Structure 1
Amino acid sequence: MMLRELLERQSLIVAGLMSGTSLDGIDVAIVRIDGCGFEASVKLLHFESFGYDAQLRERLKQLCSLDQSNVALLCGMNFAIAERFADAVFKTVAAAGMNMEDVDLISTHGQTVWHIPVADEADAFLPKSTLQIGDLSVLAKRTGRPVVGDFRTADMAVGGQGAPLAPYGDLILFRDAVKGRILQNIGGIGNCTAIPGGLSAADAGRLIAFDTGPGNMVIDQVVYELSGGKLTYDANGAWAATGQVHEELLRAMLAHPYFEQLPPKTTGRELFGKAYAAAWLAEAARHGLPPEDIVATATAFTAHSIAGSYRHYVFPHCGIAEVIVSGGGAHNQELMRMLRELLPEQTVSTSDDFGFSSDAKEAILFALLGNDWIHGVPNNLPSATGAERPTLMGKLAMP
């Protein structure tokens, strides 16, 4: 498809790709999008998820660690991950009973390996910056389709933190004429979007959005270590449900300075990754906790950091009737139980209850971002990222 034809179309079929900080795999959502901006309408045509194998996941963890990463690994993985993105798109298109020619556009988040939301004042060579790998040209050439990606850098270039980006799509898909809602994604990192009831697109500055802290990241790493590498996550929260939360250790975890920072704010593996989990496990061992109590406390850490963020930064500013959870954490029944217990005045459900798969939601959101790039519509939310102004995020690679 020539670029001119693509720019003139009002209805596009877009393959949205998401690979998050949990490093668990690649999500692909094929959607039909009619229109653009806040008036866009979306229909999910097909969704597939492809888990990273154990070796790839551990290499990515290396890449996200200051003491284990190297430039050769970074260079190679930029292409290697793009090849896996392409394979995931081919498989999803085939599973949908479609041909690649049916897909107008691919829109990809890329795989985040490092994120510096605040400049290091002591080092002029560490400005506010971010890096997502999965080369756009490799993906475009392999699939034969135009690719839009690398969204975060444009927001940072106009003073934002490059995240969270999900609130833009949350506002399009979930705003309600009456009810105040929080959209809580629980991937590797948790992020929330608080949308006051009756919010219009013109009043989007009233939206509140930020990263709440660890989502599945600490839980997953703890489970991996305690199981000797046999498990990569706590399926349905079953292990946590057998343990008791250690309140003293939980209070110490919640004293992390990140939770005192005012929004907008973002975080990632640089704060709550493998090194953090190792130090936390050592502290749990000092307390003599059995494995089930460790997993239960790590799960409570995520739940309390989410609910505490709401109490400090959301509830004082807008009434919230519903909390709608998506991402892998929506499947953790013990985590969901804890959230319901901590939020008795809100209804806590999942995005599945609103017609959007909790697994597919973020991939759908990135399809929306790519669609708006094609239409030239600014697709960041300064109220969420701290940017100085709305801007058009994304870069294009042609096949």
Structure 2
Amino acid sequence: MYCIGLMSGTSVDGIDAALVEITGTELDLKTNLLSGKVYPYPKDLKSKIIEVCGGKPISIEEFAQLDDAIAYCFAQAAKTIQEGHPQVELIGSHGQTVFHRPLKERNNKETELGYSIQLGRGSVIANLTGVPTVSNFRVADIAVGGQGAPLVSKVDAYLLSHTTRHRCVQNIGGIGNVTYLPPHQQLHWEQEIRGWDTGPGNILIDLAVQKLTDGRQSYDNNGQWASQGIPHELLVQRWLKQEFFRQPPPKSTGRELFGAVYLEQCWQDAQMYYLTDEDWLATITELTAASIADSYHRFIDQPIDEILLCGGGNRNQYLTQRLQKHLLNSKILTTNDFGMNTDFKESIAFSVLAYWRFVCCISGNLPQVTGAKHPMLLGEINLPINRKKNNLNSQSLG
């Protein structure tokens, strides 16, 4: 089956679109990436999304307009990536997260359900493309007490596990998340899979670069700038005392915690040490590497044979070097080494989740990863009114 996976992460870089051929179901699941492209948001729309993610109040009318504008961009991405390829039968759209509040415990027993908003309505995408679209994946998991994240762990398990090796699949997007995969020859191996958000991925690094350059640069290419500095170990250890890092899984996070306000506190913390720009950026980068390694040491009992990196952070060579420094006994590779494109792994995963929901009726979450009370079918199915493809150029969202 030919499917498209769409998503935009915490970094709000743009829409990652993957056109994928999917066969099989679980242990025989196979994906073949036919095309993967990133479609940047228009500048004004990106700025609006970042403002809303940062907590800027907007009216309900503005919120609706933003939802539609994002959906339109997602639909355009789906339409464009299909050109020159076989007819697509299904779209899985994660949408754009603008708010994520994990489940909270009160008085050690009562819980307040989590809440997560992904904009870019699946119904709009379905009707602009003429293709059935599965969207809003997180709500079903949250409804049964889950975090609603991370959701790609089951996909990781069936595409990237090994018969004898203990692996971690580490995504480094805006936020980092990991899936621990025990050897699948192990009895009840699926029940032993674990996953959680490790904390900041690229988000603080990118915000730091923007701060240091007054917005002239948005990221540290290959970590070249940070590599010229020396991480300040005392600051990193101080930051690692933050409650999130010590909290046991299941857990998830986002810009609400690791965003501009958090970075400003890191900046203030560093002032007493008179760091150079290079040293501060190296220290911020070190926090990402150290927080990933710290979570492995805290929450995984088995030695990790291989770490498979994916997401934009895998291209930061300095970050990879620092991660290897903290995890000397693990071999650091990328998902590319095992046939899974590092840049589009997450969008591929959402095409699989849509396929499981729409075609196979297979649950997409792992309760021991998200904290849900039981497995759930993930995603809402949106059928186009007219299955015939629409001309996007003639559509207007008003």
Q: Which residue of 1 aligns with 2:390?
A: none
Q: 2:69 aligns with which of 58, 80, 87?
A: 80
Mapped to 1, the partners of 2:278 and 2:151 lie a distance apart of 35
What are the superposed Cα offsets for residues 46-68 of structure 1, whole Å, 9 maximum, x if unpaired?
11112334433322121112355
Output one character per residue of 1:132-176: Cα deviation in whole Å (capped at 9) or x when no partner. Answer: 110111111111111001110000111111010111110011111
Q: Would you say 1:396 and 2:369 are equivalent positions?
A: no
Q: Per-residue displacement from partner, 1:2-55 (whole Å, max 9, x unpaired)?
A: xxxxxxxxxx10000121111111111111111223432211111111233443
Question: Residue in 2 aligned with 1:320?
Answer: 304
Q: For 1:68 and 1:296, locate their aligned partners in 2 and report how far apart those are by CA, in whole Å.
A: 34
Amino acid at match of 2:96: Q
**Corresponding residue to 1:98 among 69, 76, 85:** 85
Matched, 1:238 2:245: no
Match for 1:305 among 291, 309, 316? Answer: 291
> Residues 199, 151 of structure 1: CA spacing in aligned structure 2 closer, same or farther, 3 A cutoff?
farther
Change (3 A) 1:258 1:264: same
Within the candidate set 180, 183, 193, 1:207 is matched to 193
Query: For 1:72-93, what per-residue CA distance to the aligned partner results, in whole angstroms no more than 9, with x for missing partners?
Result: 4422211111111111112212
Aligned twin of 1:109 = 94
SS in 2 for 1:366: helix
Residue 349 of structure 2 corresponds to: 365
Equivalent residue in structure 2 for 1:219, among 205, 208, 229: 205
Structure 2 residue matching 1:47: 3-state secondary structure: strand
SS at match of 1:323: strand
Give yes or no for contact 2:178–2:197 (8 Å, CA) kept in 1.
yes
Q: What SS class does the counterpart of residue 236 from structure 2 fall into?
A: helix
1:20 matched residue in structure 2:
9
Contact 1:28–1:92 (Cα < 8 Å) also in 2: yes
Supply the distance in 1 between the matched residues of 2:266 and 2:200 (Cα, whole angstroms).
13
- Report the alpha carbon displacement of residue 199 of structure 1 after superposing the two structures with TM: 4.9
Provide the rounded CA distance (Å) in 2 between the counterparts of 1:199 and 1:239.
43
Does residue 382 of the first structure (1) align with residue 367 of the second (2)?
yes
**Bigger helix fraction:** 1
Q: Secondary structure at the match of 2:265?
A: helix
TM-superposed deviation, 1:197: 1.6
- AA partner of residue 313 (structure 2): G
Aligned partner letter, 2:269: E
Residues 321 and 346, structure 1, Cα contact 8 Å, conserved in 2: yes
2:320 is the counterpart of 1:336: yes
Aligned equivalent of 1:263, options 249, 256, 275? 249
Percent identity of the aligned residues?
40
- TM-superposed deviation, 1:203: 3.4
How many residues align? The count is: 381
Instruction: Quote the Cα distance in structure 2 between the aligned partners of 1:378 and 1:127.
Output: 20
Shift of 1:125: 12
Deviates more, 1:190-199 or 1:326-335: 190-199
The structure 2 residue matched to 1:279, chosen from 239, 257, 265, is 265
Secondary structure of residue in 1 paired with 2:257: helix
C-alpha deviation, 1:285, in angstroms: 3.5
Aligned to 2:45: 56
The range that moved more, 281-290 or 271-280, is: 281-290
Residue 280 (structure 2) aligns with: 294
- Shift of the alpha carbon at 1:253? 1.2
Matched with 2:389 is none
The answer as to whether partners of 1:62 and 1:69 remain within 8 angstroms in 2 is no
Q: Is the 8 A contact 2:103 2:112 kept in 1?
A: no
**In structure 1, how many angstroms separate the alpha carbons of the residues matched to 2:105 and 2:299?**
25
Q: Please state whether the residue corresponding to 2:153 is helix, strand or coil.
A: helix
Deviation at residue 255 of structure 1 after TM alignment? 1.1
Distance 1:184 1:203 in 2: 19
> What SS class does the counterpart of residue 131 from structure 1 fall into?
strand
Q: Deviation at 1:236?
A: 0.8
Distance across 2 between alignment mates of 1:287 and 1:54: 36
SS in 2 for 1:39: coil
Alpha carbons of 1:80 and 1:220: their partners in 2 closer, same or farther (altered >3 Å)?
A: same
| 1:346 shift after superposition | 0.6
AA matched with 2:85: M
Cα RMSD over matched residues?
1.9
Q: TM-score, normalised by structure 2?
A: 0.91
Q: 1:167-220, CA deviations, whole angstroms, 9 ceiling, x for partnerless residues?
A: 111001111111110000000110000111235695311011111111011111
Deviation at 1:249, TM superposition (A): 1.6
Cα distance in 2, alignment partners of residues 198 and 119 from structure 1: 33
1:197 correspondence with 2:186:
no
Give the Å deviation of 1:275. 1.4
In structure 2, what is the equivalent of residue 356 of structure 1? 340
Alignment of 1:54-203 (within 5 A): 54-94=43-83, 97-98=84-85, 102-119=87-104, 121=106, 127-199=113-185, 203=189
Change (3 A) 1:210 1:93: same
345-354 or 63-72, which deviates more? 63-72
3-state SS in 2 of match to 1:344: coil
